[in-house]
Structure 1
Amino acid sequence: SEWYDVSPATIAAVQATRERGGRVIAVGTTSLRALETVGAQGLRPGVGDTKLFITPGYRFTVVDRLVTNFHLPKSTLLMLIAAFAGLDHVLAAYRHAVAERYRFFSYGDAMLIERAPGAGAAR
């Protein structure tokens, strides 16, 4: 589990972004899990521990894009981004990263990924 604190200002920003037709971007997998947790609770501010475990098939309701690093193979975080962006897209990005000698894990390079069609609930 991970601790989160999603403020009223954050909820207002998400709602305003949606009303404008914009995209909600999470920076990091912890932020994504926090936003999806409060989204499942009616998109209200919240504080607590998220136990949300995201695997392929999860229907994202809040986050449209994600900034994250290149996670280690066989990790739960790699599973999360595969659920978010689609396994084929993630594997293609990782092949490119390996070929170009990108750095992996916490202090490595980062990427911006978009939620795959079908990975989100209708809004």
Structure 2
Amino acid sequence: MTVAPVVVDVLSAVLLLTGALTCLLGAVGLVRLPDLPARLQAATKPQTLGLLLILAGTALRVPLESAVTLVLVGLFQVITAPVISQLLGRSAYRSGTVRRDGMVVDELADKMPEERPS
């Protein structure tokens, strides 16, 4: 059973446009959100989802060998984006650029070394 090329074209276009819109909303979040943790959220989740949708839409249009490469690109993005976000957030927390008074839960406070007076 073969799928009509029109169906593949429409599905690919929907995936590509949805992915582009998701990436655009993530970029707007980077500009509009007030603090670093919120910006990290906007930089990782919508951008990763948008890229995965774009890769899926592209995979429908390319030969199978190239689609396998796109799957690897998506896998590396899913693996590395949360790790990088975690490292940036922890670095910002340790350097004092994250406002702690606005946090509902602060799990790192107990793990931070006591500040010594200079």
TM (norm. structure 1) is 0.27
State the structure with more CA Rg.
Answer: 2
Q: Normalising by structure 2, report the TM-score.
A: 0.28
Which is richer in strand? Answer: 1
| Structure (1/2) with the larger helix percentage | 2
